[in-house]
Amino acid sequence: MKKDFICLKDFTPAEVANLLSLAKQVKHNPRHGCDFLKGRSIAMIFQKPSNRTRVSFETGIFQLGGNAIYLAPDDISLGKREPTADIARTLTRFVDGIVARVFSHQDLIELSKYSTVPVINALSDESHPCQALADMLTVQERFGKVSGLTMAYIGDGNNVCNSLISICSKVGMHLRIATPKGYEPSPEFVRLGEECGKKTGSKISVMTSAEDAARGAHVLYTDTWVSMGQEEETARRLKDFEGYQINAKLASLADKEYIFMHCLPAHRGQEVSTDVIDGPRSVIFDEAENRLHAQKAVMIFLYTFKHQ
């Protein structure tokens, strides 16, 4: 039996708490799990170029004693050179796990369906669960807790936003999402987040006012307004997102001990002003580092589950 890490909405609050606890252990004791992937190889399918995702996964696999096999976009041409199902069936015969950074979430579903080894979502157009897990670890480190805090996500209701909805609702954190009309997050993620929040005490709110979202928030979070593959929409998006920049004026509405978060890469002067992202309240590089620890926790969790 195997378990995948495709989307956080598929995990229970208890499992998310377990992953966060495990990530904390891994970070403070680098030797924890150092032989966990000994003798195992992990295929890394990347349709998109990457800095943090590739380096953090390769390093994490190495630190757990495993071997990472990087497969660049032209190495496989997922779904083009041969069906995704055939790729999954073939890789399953060679490797012990698959990490995939893809454009279409459906490719992950296909890989998971036809693979007999764990599949990890390293990013898709629908969700970015590894990022959200690292984000929550960062918040926990800064405030000593996550439950009862308020995060304001201001910008595009994209894959990162969807995953933040899932994880906030699992850990009891309130999430206010401010986006222009037409850029709201997935209604399905919002619905599931609201349902889960009834049990954990989390409140998920979607609005158009960046000021209302930021007021009293402990965390201000944004992402690029133009994601990879949306370059043709740049001019329209920059116009539509006017007024949604996180800057000193907007940040003045937040809690006085607020932290600023961004999954990176960032565009200074667009979604965030330079003084905020490079200021004393910014934790973007702690956040980036925590990708390594969160992903190691995910791999330990999946392989523990697989061999129970």
| pLDDT-derived band at 308, boundaries 50, 70, 90 | low
Mean pLDDT of the chain: 95
In the numeric block, the tokens 């979202």 are attached to 213
| pLDDT-derived band at 24, boundaries 50, 70, 90 | very high
Give the number of C-alpha atoms closer than 13 A to the C-alpha of residue 216, restricted to the C-beta side. Answer: 7
pLDDT number for residue 307? 53
Comparing C-alpha atoms, which of 101, 57, 93 is closest to residue 76?
101
Pick the catalytic residue: 105, 174, 176, 291?
Answer: 291
Residue 131 is among the residues annotated as catalytic for this protein: yes
Q: 1 pLDDT exceeds 80?
A: no
pLDDT number for residue 301? 95
Pick the catalytic residue: 131, 140, 270, 295?
Answer: 131
Pick the catalytic residue: 128, 142, 237, 293?
Answer: 128
Residue 230 is among the residues annotated as catalytic for this protein: no
Pick the catalytic residue: 96, 218, 223, 295?
Answer: 223
pLDDT number for residue 244? 98
Average of per-residue pLDDT across 163-190 = 98
| pLDDT-derived band at 233, boundaries 50, 70, 90 | confident
Enumerate the H helices of the chain as residue ranges.
13-28, 52-63, 73-76, 84-94, 105-114, 129-143, 159-171, 187-200, 210-214, 234-240, 248-251, 274-277, 284-306
As given in the structure block, the two tokens for residue 227 are 């994601």
Q: What is the pLDDT of residues 181-225, one digit of tens each?
A: 999 999 999 999 999 999 999 999 999 999 999 999 999 999 999
As given in the structure block, the two tokens for residue 68 are 């990472």
Least confident of 119-123, 168-172, 229-233: 229-233
Domain with CATH 3.40.50.1370 in the chain: 8-128+289-306, 131-287
Triad 153, 154, 157: Cα angle to 5°: 80
Pick the catalytic residue: 107, 263, 270, 293?
Answer: 263
Overall fold of domain 8-128+289-306: Rossmann fold (3.40.50)
Residue 63 is among the residues annotated as catalytic for this protein: no
Q: Does domain 131-287 have CATH number 3.40.50.1370?
A: yes
In the numeric block, the tokens 């979502």 are attached to 121
| pLDDT-derived band at 121, boundaries 50, 70, 90 | very high
Pick the catalytic residue: 47, 52, 54, 101?
Answer: 101
Residue 308 is among the residues annotated as catalytic for this protein: no
Burial class of residue 219 (count of CB atoms within 10 Å of its CB; 0-12, 13-18, 19+):
buried
pLDDT number for residue 80? 80
Q: How far apart are CA 125 and CA 159, in angstroms?
A: 6
